[in-house]
């Protein structure tokens, strides 16, 4: 599932539940529709409430990364769980986006993250 938060310079996609092939298509269509409405400089995929992700999530990240490259936007990945970080790592998708941890969707607006994920 996905809930979208549109701000002047940023689109945040609050993802939740299980991100697999079954759910990815709907999530992708909703995000892309919103991106094409405003072409935000920053798109955030917030995985804070995602309980499971397989390589369908990598497809989602790779596709959004390509979309943002078209117009020079930046993709950020927020709050991936340990399981999600592992999938990101083996896929190399952690190089396609800025990854930040412990970013609270409400508090993150305009503020620096508490710390950045690094490994």
Partner 1 sequence: MNTLNELKCTFPARSENESFARTMVCAFAAQLDPTVEELADLRTAVSEAVTNCIVHAYRGSDAGTVTVTVRLLPDGVIYVRIADKGCGIADIPQAMTPLYSSAPAEERAGLGFTVMQSFTDRLTVTSKPDRGTTVTMRKKLTHGTDEAAGGRS
Alpha-carbon distance of 35 to 41, in angstroms, equals 10
* DSSP secondary structure letter of residue 72: T
**Binding stretches for partner 1 (CB under 8 A):** 18, 20-22, 24-25, 28, 52-56, 58-60, 62-63, 82-83, 86-87, 90-91, 93
**Nearest residue (CB) to partner 1, 84 versus 108:** 84
Cβ 30 to partner 1 shortest distance, Å: 14
**Nearest residue (CB) to partner 1, 86 versus 109:** 86
Q: Is 57 helix (H, G, I), strand (E, B) or coil?
A: helix
User: Which contacts qualify for 65-71: CB closer than 8 Å, 24 or more apart?
Assistant: 65/96, 65/97, 67/32, 67/35, 68/35, 68/43, 71/39
Cβ 110 to partner 1 shortest distance, Å: 32
**Nearest residue (CB) to partner 1, 21 versus 115:** 21
Cβ 54 to partner 1 shortest distance, Å: 4
């Amino acid at each position: 599932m996905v809930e979208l938060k549109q701000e002047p310079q940023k689109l945040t996609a609050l993802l939740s539940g299980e991100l697999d092939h079954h759910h990815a298509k709907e999530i992708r269509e909703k995000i892309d529709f919103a991106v094409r409405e405003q072409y935000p400089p920053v798109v955030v995929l917030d995985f804070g409430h995602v309980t499971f992700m397989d390589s369908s999530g990598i497809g989602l990240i790779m596709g959004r990364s390509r979309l943002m490259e078209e117009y020079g936007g930046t993709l950020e990945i927020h709050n991936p769980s340990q399981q999600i970080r592992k999938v990101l790592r083996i896929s190399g998708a952690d190089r396609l986006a800025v990854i930040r941890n412990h970013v609270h969707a409400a508090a993150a607006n305009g503020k620096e993250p508490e710390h950045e994920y690094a490994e």
